[in-house]
Amino acid sequence: AVSGSPYLTRCMDIIFLGTGSAFPTPKRAVSGMILRNSATNVQWLFDCGEGSQVQAQKIPEARIKRITRIFITHMHGDHVYGLPGLMATLAHRMQGEERGPDDVDVEIYGPQGLRRYLRLALSLAWALLDITYTVHELMF
């Protein structure tokens, strides 16, 4: 689609979860943004600062269980600290949904170290996720 296309304008929404800097404040959360296809309601999350799942629950158009892709721009805490909590919330919201043996619930893309960080955080918290996810570490 070309920039300014009516299709693009009608179908894509940007939902800001946080636009603050490295530290949350009472009025501004840290980095997080959802790109929502309003035609299919598929949602992609860009960065996941702490409290992103709480911010998403405050916005009616943001549906955590509709997030199919997560993109982490870099490994600073204000961009990744919310990821383990979001994954736990996502797993809770998807309980009982039928999925095939080859279905992957969430695809996660980010820099080197993201897979290790997420596995370590989830294992230390004894988080048992009943969803599947794949972490793709990009070399850039």
CATH of domain 6-138: 3.60.15.10
User: Over its length of 140 residues, how does the chain's per-residue pLDDT go in tens digits?
Assistant: 445 555 555 688 999 998 887 777 788 888 999 999 988 889 999 999 998 999 999 998 888 888 999 999 999 999 999 999 999 988 887 777 766 665 568 999 999 999 999 999 999 988 778 888 999 999 87
- CA-only gyration radius of the chain, Å: 15
Please state, in angstroms and rounded to a whole number, the distance separating the CA atoms of residues 103 and 32: 26
- The structural domains of the chain, with segments of one domain joined by +, span 6-138
List 47, 78, 105, 130, catalytic entry: 78
pLDDT of residue 7: 55
Q: Which residues lie below 8 Å from residue 130, measured CB to CB, with a gap of 6+? A: 91, 94, 95
Inter-axis angle of helices 114-124 and 83-93, to 10 degrees? 70
Residue 78 annotated in active site: yes
pLDDT of residue 87: 92
Q: What is the tally of helices (H) and strands (E) in the chain? A: 5, 6
Helix (H, G, I), strand (E, B) or coil at 115: helix
pLDDT of residue 1: 43
pTM value is 0.85
18, amino acid identity: G
Cβ-count burial of 126 within 10 angstroms (0-12 exposed, 13-18 middle, 19+ buried)? Answer: exposed
**Structural element, H or E, at residue 36:** strand 32-37
pLDDT of residue 93: 79
